[in-house]
Amino acid sequence: MKYISTRGDQTERGFSEILLEGLAPDGGLYLPTHYPQVDAATLARWRDLYGNGQAGGYAALAYEILSLYITDIPAADLKRLVDKTYTKAVYGTDAIVPVRRLKDGLLIEALSNGPTLAFKDMAMQLLGNLFEYELARRGEQLNILGATSGDTGSAAEYAMRGKQGVNVFMLSPYGRMSPFQQAQMFSLQDANIHNLSVEGVFDDCQDIVKAVSNDLAFKRQWKIGTVNSINWARLLAQVVYYFAGYFQVTKADSEKVSFSVPSGNFGNVCAGHVARMMGLPIAQLVVATNENDVLDEFFRTGRYRVRGSAETFETSSPSMDISKASNFERFVFDLLGRDAARTAQLFGPAIAKEGGFQLTADETARIAQYGFVSGKSTHADRLATIKATWDAHQDMIDTHTADGLKVAAEHLQPGVPMIVLETALPAKFAATIQEALGRDPIRPAALEGIEALPKRFTVMKVDAGAVKAYIEQHAK
């Protein structure tokens, strides 16, 4: 399998070449030259392999799907990497992504049982193993630099901890994360994980990352990289749980299901789009946003309008607080019949000059053929949904999943099961759970008392120079 750019660069690259890259050289995103088609016999075989969540079933399914897209890593090596990623020891169950029923036709698929209790672990754990493998093969090192306000940086740390050839330098705002978030990140004692606690706000952290990355000589000398959500390997890993969810909910491959996906950067639901393009019988892909509704606006109107920072709200589903959806270009490329020139025009000049674009009426009408619908959810909706779900089903959901459930309810179709993707556990968002339910969230037993563990972090001034000096001292 080869990969091309959404903006017209037709140089065909192998998976290993794009694994450690961000954007394509022309500024586009990488996509496979085509989506392998899954016929009825293959789907039946995969259903058997997954076997409703038997030990090793998820890893076996993941290997089948990944090997269609990763053809430049020897099969035995890929199998070993996948087998060591998707284990009960890491995800708590053999099913890895167990589905539970709320009521007839409405289900929740748990993507949130990894080490940081959020769906990013699903892909990031594999990425850690792929990075270690590829860096060793090349004899190279990588220094990952990132900024986090607390929710997403930990997934990268837990994926890369102890990995050969990789260091992580993660900036976070000093004193501004919840005690639980701090404990999650700062309790890691691995020598290759560096928590830099910056005496400023999250934007200061991001500015430092930009400043360091813009120093191209420094970036090259110290092999600075990122693990952002546009990485194709992350998206690919996420395709697997759409199949695993489908197999748990259906008995035969003639049945259709819909998925509702709490969305921000469009990485999660874009994997659903890929699964559907491969032939998985998905009726609807429901894009659920919070108050940051750039995607909902697009799917209702065909208008894509990037928001400024004044228009980007801090909400109680913070991992969906985005001003532009960084993976979204991949879907638009497919929607436009893979017209790279038009995609380049829309995501280059149109966004730069006009802050967005409006598709034509014909193009907008085509969205429905891809199964996409959307909706938005507010803080009040989240509180009401968390409370109603607890009262009716004694099921405690987090704020992001609540957005997904709220919007899912607006798109139910008779006879089509709706699977809401659970993207985080409530334990991470105690303040909002308190507000909704008047009690503390349930916490997985393994995380009881983590606030008391010894912490390992370094306090730094808001100073890119100081961060560079720290990297020079600690990068291997």
Ligand X SMILES: *Cc1c(COP(=O)(O)O)cnc(C)c1O
Catalytic residue positions, numbered = 120
User: Residue 412 carries which side chain, given as an amino acid letter?
Assistant: L
Is the dihedral angle over the CA atoms 296, 301, 304, 310 positive or is it negative? negative
Nearer to ligand X, 267 or 302 (CB): 267
Distances (CA, A) of 334 to 34, 77, 222, 304: 10, 31, 36, 16
* Closest to ligand X by CB, 218 or 313: 313
- 119 three-state secondary structure: coil
Alpha helical stretches, state H, 302-395: 328-335, 340-345, 351-354, 361-366, 379-393
Chain centroid offset of residue 416 CA = 25
Query: Closest distance between ligand X and the C-beta of residue 458, in Å?
Result: 25
Q: Which of 206, 142, 214, 143 is nearest to 172 (CA)?
A: 206
Please report how close the Cβ of residue 51 comes to ligand X at its closest, in angstroms: 28
| Bridge partners of residue 419, in order along the sequence | 107, 259
Burial class of 262 by CB neighbour count within 10 A (0 to 12, 13 to 18, 19+): buried
From first CA to last CA, the distance across the chain in angstroms is: 33
What whole-number distance in Å separates Cα of residue 231 and Cα of residue 37? 22
Rounded to the nearest angstrom, the gap between the alpha carbon of residue 372 and the centroid of all alpha carbons in its chain is 18
**Residue 68 near residue 1 (C-beta atoms within 8 A):** yes
Minimum gap (Å) between residue 264 Cβ and ligand X: 4
Using the minimum distance from each CB to ligand X, give the nearer residue, 152 or 374.
152
User: CB-wise, 18 or 397, nearer to ligand X?
Assistant: 397
- By the 8 A CB rule, do 371 and 283 touch? yes
| Residue 163 beta carbon to ligand X: minimum distance, rounded to whole angstroms | 21
Which is closer to ligand X, CB of 273 or CB of 400? 400
Q: Which is nearer to ligand X, 42 or 326 (by Cβ)?
A: 326
Surface-to-core class of residue 459, CB atoms within 10 Å of its CB (0-12 exposed, 13-18 middle, 19+ buried)? exposed
C-beta separation of 376 from 39 below 8 A: no
* Rounded least distance, CB 254 to ligand X, Å: 30
Q: Which is nearer to ligand X, 6 or 319 (CB)?
A: 319
User: Looking at beta carbons only, is 331 or 357 nearer to ligand X?
Assistant: 331
Q: List interacting residues with ligand X (CB under 6 A).
A: 118-120, 151-152, 229, 262-268, 319-320, 400, 423-424
In the complex, minimum distance from the CB of residue 18 to ligand X, in angstroms, rounded to a whole number: 19
279: which residues sit within 8 A by CB, 6+ positions away?
A: 37, 38, 39, 43
What are the helix (H) ranges across 70-215? 75-85, 88-91, 120-138, 153-160, 179-186, 202-214
- Give me the helices (H) in 151-302, please: 153-160, 179-186, 202-214, 216-221, 232-249, 267-278, 294-301
Query: Residue 245 Cβ, how far from ligand X at the closest point, in Å?
Result: 16
Measured at the alpha carbon of residue 168, what is the angle toward residues 166 and 170, in degrees to the nearest 5? Answer: 170
> C-beta of 377: minimal distance to ligand X in Å?
12
